[in-house]
């Protein structure tokens, strides 16, 4: 599979990770559905056409990916070739369908409704794919298909369903039941939410790249030999930039969708989760790094208002 990297002149060993390559190929192949659909059906296809073409495209492309790329160099693949590429392909496919939805919204009576939701789906699919890809490139030792975070927890799945339900209930049902209902969020608010998502995503990914092999999606209770305290880059501004990015990304998605109920709920739940998570994590970090981490705490805040973290002296 390395012939592709040779063509692109990618020489850095970490970018030649077979699992990162499988993921990238899978995601880009999923994105290929968009020009495929536009070429065959135009910019405003019916739901049935989209479904049929998507199914046919998946049945055609996914086996080809497995034959051409995934089936080779299995011994060097840590994450299971087909498990990896199929997840990435699915996320790329969802991203492509969301972009198509945004194009369809141009022809709809209420383009703003479809535009905001399609942006949300794009953000969601890219977030999950990039979590794995960045880990596979910069933190290969901790890489696994679970890093796609698609089945993170039942609570997470319920939260995604809840925000989608609120969005469509408020945009479709409420105006019908209340003729004088005024959609309270102007376009500038949706754009602000989108920018929050971009900023949060960037901060989180910079954090993952900066810490590289020191980053872990799970709280580590034992210090690895290679584990180092990172205080440079984005970590010179926040002690927990990955959490900062995730929180603002989460809040941004609900501002983008204009979901007042989920906005409040996600903010409260997110704060409570991070409050406990940071306390738990910093107990171990103080044990791992001792005075060095205590000094770091004095110089740099957590990055999340009203969350100070765990201090030995209280």
Q: Write the pLDDT tens digit of every residue in 84-122.
A: 888 999 999 999 989 888 877 776 666 667 888 999 999
| Predicted local confidence at residue 3, as pLDDT | 46
In the numeric block, the tokens 């209280």 are attached to 314
Q: Which CATH architecture has domain 153-313?
A: Up-down Bundle (1.20)
| Predicted local confidence at residue 11, as pLDDT | 47
Instruction: Identify whether the C-beta of residue 201 lies closer than 8 Å to the C-beta of residue 129.
Output: no
pLDDT digits (tens, 9 = 90+) for 294-307: 999 999 999 999 99
| Predicted local confidence at residue 42, as pLDDT | 62
| Predicted local confidence at residue 38, as pLDDT | 75
What phi-psi label fits residue 178: left (phi over 0), alpha (psi between -120 and 50 degrees) or beta? beta
Quick one: tokens of 157? Answer: 């799945």
| Predicted local confidence at residue 296, as pLDDT | 96
- Give mean pLDDT in consecutive 10-residue pieces for the chain, a chain of 314 residues: 46 64 88 79 67 80 70 55 87 91 72 82 96 90 87 87 91 62 69 96 96 92 91 96 97 94 95 95 95 95 94 71
Report the SS3 class of residue 193.
Answer: helix
In the numeric block, the tokens 């496919």 are attached to 93
Nearest to 202 by CA among 146, 237, 241: 241
- Sketch the domain layout of the chain as residue ranges: 1-149, 153-313
| Predicted local confidence at residue 7, as pLDDT | 41
Quick one: tokens of 257? Answer: 């969708």
| Predicted local confidence at residue 8, as pLDDT | 43
SS3 per residue for 125-165: HHHHHHHHHHHHHHCHHHCCHHHHCCCCCHHHHHHHHHHHH
| Predicted local confidence at residue 169, as pLDDT | 87
| Predicted local confidence at residue 77, as pLDDT | 56
Spatial distance between the Cα atoms of 127 and 249, rounded to a whole number of angstroms: 9
In the numeric block, the tokens 């998502």 are attached to 197
| Predicted local confidence at residue 10, as pLDDT | 47
| Reported pTM | 0.88
- Reported as half-sphere exposure (CB side, CA atoms, 13 A), residue 1 has a value of 25
Length of the chain: 314
Instruction: Identify whether the C-beta of residue 108 lies closer than 8 Å to the C-beta of residue 178.
Output: no
Indicate the burial class of 305 (C-beta count within 10 angstroms; 0-12, 13-18, 19 or more). exposed
Query: CA torsion sign, 238 to 156 to 79 to 130?
Result: negative
């Amino acid at each position: 599979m390395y012939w592709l990297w040779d063509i692109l002149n990618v020489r850095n060993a970490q970018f030649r990770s077979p699992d990162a390559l499988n993921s990238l190929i899978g995601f880009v192949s999923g994105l290929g559905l968009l020009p495929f659909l536009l070429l065959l059906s135009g910019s405003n296809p019916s739901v049935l056409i989209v479904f049929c073409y998507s199914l046919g495209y998946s049945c055609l492309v996914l086996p080809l990916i497995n034959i051409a790329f995934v089936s080779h160099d299995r011994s060097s693949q840590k994450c299971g070739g087909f498990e990896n590429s199929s997840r990435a392909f699915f996320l790329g496919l969802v991203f492509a369908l969301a972009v198509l939805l945004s194009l369809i919204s141009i022809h709809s009576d209420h383009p703003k409704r479809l535009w905001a939701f399609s942006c949300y789906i794009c953000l969601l699919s890219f977030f999950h794919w990039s979590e794995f890809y960045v880990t596979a490139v910069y933190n290969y030792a901790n890489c696994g298909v679970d890093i796609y975070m698609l089945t993170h927890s039942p609570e997470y799945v319920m939260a995604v369903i809840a925000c989608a339900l609120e969005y469509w209930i408020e945009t479709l049902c409420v105006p019908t039941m209340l003729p004088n209902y005024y959609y309270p969020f102007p376009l500038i608010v949706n754009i602000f939410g989108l920018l929050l998502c971009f900023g949060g995503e960037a901060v989180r990914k910079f954090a993952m790249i900066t810490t590289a092999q020191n980053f872990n999606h799970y709280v580590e209770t034992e210090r690895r030999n290679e584990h180092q305290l990172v205080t440079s880059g984005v970590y010179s501004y926040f002690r927990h930039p990955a959490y900062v990015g995730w929180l603002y990304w989460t809040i941004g998605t609900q501002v983008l969708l204009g979901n007042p109920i989920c906005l409040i709920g996600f903010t409260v739940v997110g704060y409570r989760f991070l409050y406990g998570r940071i306390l738990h994590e910093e107990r171990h970090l103080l044990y791992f790094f001792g005075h060095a981490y205590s000094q770091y705490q004095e110089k740099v805040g957590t990055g999340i208002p009203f969350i100070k973290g765990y201090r030995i002296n209280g």
